[in-house]
A and B are shown apart, each in its own frame.
Chain A
Amino acid sequence: MKNIKYLILRRITQITLLVLYFGANAYGWHILEGTFGSSLLFGKIPLADPYTTVQVMATGFVLGTDVLLGALLITLFYFVVGGRAFCSWVCPINMVTDAANWLRRKLNLDKEEVNYRFLKRRARYWIMVLGIIVSAVVGVSAFEVLSPITIMQRGIIFGFGAGISIIVAIFLFDLFGVKNGWCGHLCPLGASYSLIGKASLIRVDHDHEACTNCMKCKIVCPENQVLYMINKESIMVTDGECTNCGRCIDVCDDDALGFSIRSFGKNK
């Protein structure tokens, strides 16, 4: 049980949120209504996705204050809990790509190292900027046209239709194509949360003294470039690309990793 604590907590969080959103439509609950693009918490507090908000603004439309306030609240929230906590604790696609990643390991697909020359992890930042430019040019929130995240969420709330195909496509891409292909290379929403999370407060802390260099954390980490300090230095994982998923903490048998509050002063 010890080595799946955060995994279970994440699944509970993800599924609970989806159930609440589903219930808002199906049973008229007023706990969490709408979708990730824009929501209403307890029927009063507006929430909005910052990247979606920026895209709408890029189209030249002057947004309602509800959305602007909502985007501010979400930005502040993830500034505290770690920007990409959205990716691993909230986003429903995380369950799809985690499943693909798990199956990848089981099928030994990672043994064959393939060099994806044109697809680097920084591609997502280009895509993120591109999404804003395309929004401005075409006059529609460009990522929302094909975002598997909201397609999956709306699918669960309102019914999938043919939208299910993009979810399957992402699964296949991550399984047989690029490892961590969607979440780790392409997703511009994750990129936007990486930027928000650059300065976030809750971080994973590494204790170099306790580490036995087993590398289990690096195998399971979806963004293992952020774990460069393993068995080298006792510092925090401060890279914004860390999703705060806690899988490294789960699999560590040596208590060398744990969540901690970022200390801006002495952290190097």
Chain B
Amino acid sequence: MANSNNNRRKFFATTLQSVGLTALGGLLWSGYSDEVKASPLVLRPPGALDEDDFLKACIKCGLCAEACVNRDSNKNKDGSKREGTLQMAKGGDHLMIGTPFFIPTEVPCYMCDDIPCVPVCPSGALDMPSLLNQKEELDINKARMGLAVVHKESCIAFWGIQCDACYRACPLLDEAITLEYQKNERTGKHAFLLPVVHSDICTGCGLCEQACVTEKPAIFVLPIEQATGKAGDHYVKGWDEKDQQRISNAKEIKTSNERSEKEASDYLNMEVEY
């Protein structure tokens, strides 16, 4: 009897220990995984899902990077192989290890017509349907790997120096980046040719960033999430019939508080008490 009690006690103790250590491991493991997940400044291959979903889905096989580096077009004139656009994150890159990414200043995305990196993805982390046009053909122009952003203080075109390196490097010439003409008041007789990026067209390939002549590129690609803002639903373009339809079913909401007792003009003219 005493012995069986002892056994039972031992069983409960070791089970409790296993559960406890598992919980400890779980906390450490979750914390670590969550930290390494948080590297938002990264450019993913074409067709990649939102970063959150991408990290869930990517099985880290590297087939995209292999397809990228081994594509037929990736050769020098003497037939030797060039470096691929896509790299696989390794320890020390401070990105989720084993996931594909690219750095435009090293090798930008050349926007291949056949997009070799996407159809090979076995998990669906690179979403092929998102790159199909109306004819069900792969269309690299639908890729949104990121968005080019111009830092006008370091862009020499904004200084008045003539430079259109990014404009000329852009695969969607005069669509994704256009040049805006402005009078240079300083000289009085020259024009600024200012690069303007159009986010509805820019794919984020990074050829502009690579072509930029300044010491540190004045035009650079950021992930869409980091490069864009959002006006919010409550702003409606009154001059746009399509946008107006969003509020066609809107109903008036009446709120009443202390202020509603007076006319708007009354309280607008009141002194404000802070």
A25 at the interface (CB under 8 A from B): yes
Within 8 A of B (CB), among A19-47: 24-25, 27-28, 33-35, 37-40, 46
CB-based A-B contact count at 8 angstroms: 152
Least CB separation from A36: chain B residue = B61
If A140-B55, A161-B91, A165-B91 touch, whether A64 touches B63 (CB-CB below 8 Å) is: no
Judge whether A130 and B57 touch: CB under 8 Å: no
B172 at the interface (CB under 8 A from A): no
Bound Cα distance A52, B123 (Å): 11
The residues of A that contact B25 with a CB separation of less than 8 Å are 126-127, 130
5 A-B pairs whose Cβ atoms sit less than 8 Å apart in the complex: A123-B18, A139-B37, A144-B98, A146-B32, A161-B90
Interface stretch, picked from A6-14, A84-92, A151-159, A170-178, is A151-159
The residues of A that contact B63 with a CB separation of less than 8 Å are 33-34, 38, 40
Chain B window 54-75, contacts with chain A (Cβ cutoff 8 Å), 1 for yes, 0 for no = 0111011111011001100000
Bound Cα distance A127, B123 (Å): 24
Within 8 A of A (CB), among B21-45: 21-22, 25-26, 29-30, 32-34, 36-37
Bound Cα distance A161, B65 (Å): 17
The residues of B that contact A70 with a CB separation of less than 8 Å are 122
B92 at the interface (CB under 8 A from A): yes
If A25-B69, A118-B17 touch, whether A64 touches B122 (CB-CB below 8 Å) is: yes
If A158-B65, A165-B91 touch, whether A140 touches B59 (CB-CB below 8 Å) is: no
B113 at the interface (CB under 8 A from A): no
Judge whether B60 and A159 touch: CB under 8 Å: no
Judge whether B33 and A25 touch: CB under 8 Å: no
Bound Cα distance A134, B18 (Å): 17
Judge whether B90 and A35 touch: CB under 8 Å: no
B87 at the interface (CB under 8 A from A): yes
The residues of B that contact A146 with a CB separation of less than 8 Å are 32, 97
The residues of A that contact B18 with a CB separation of less than 8 Å are 123, 126
Bound Cα distance A123, B61 (Å): 27
Judge whether A59 and B90 touch: CB under 8 Å: no
In this complex, the member of B30, B66, B124 whose beta carbon has the largest number of chain A beta carbons within 10 angstroms is B66
Bound Cα distance A160, B34 (Å): 23
Judge whether A34 and B124 touch: CB under 8 Å: no
Bound Cα distance A136, B123 (Å): 17
Judge whether B53 and A61 touch: CB under 8 Å: yes
In this complex, the member of A142, A145, A155 whose beta carbon has the largest number of chain B beta carbons within 10 angstroms is A145
Task: Give me 16 other A-B pairs in contact (C-beta within 8 A), A130-B29, A134-B29, A163-B90 excluded.
Answer: A25-B65, A25-B66, A28-B66, A38-B61, A38-B122, A39-B61, A40-B63, A61-B123, A66-B122, A67-B123, A126-B25, A138-B30, A140-B96, A141-B60, A151-B91, A163-B92
User: Smallest CB–CB gap between B96 and chain A, Å?
Assistant: 7
If A133-B26, A145-B33 touch, whether A56 touches B57 (CB-CB below 8 Å) is: yes
The residues of B that contact A61 with a CB separation of less than 8 Å are 53, 56-57, 123-124
In this complex, the member of B22, B26, B52, B62 whose beta carbon has the largest number of chain A beta carbons within 10 angstroms is B62
In this complex, the member of B52, B88, B97, B120 whose beta carbon has the largest number of chain A beta carbons within 10 angstroms is B97
**Closest 8 CB pairs between A and B?**
A162-B92, A161-B90, A163-B91, A162-B91, A28-B70, A66-B122, A38-B61, A59-B56
If A134-B29, A158-B65 touch, whether A126 touches B91 (CB-CB below 8 Å) is: no
Chain B window 89-123, contacts with chain A (Cβ cutoff 8 Å), 1 for yes, 0 for no = 01111001110000000000000000000001111
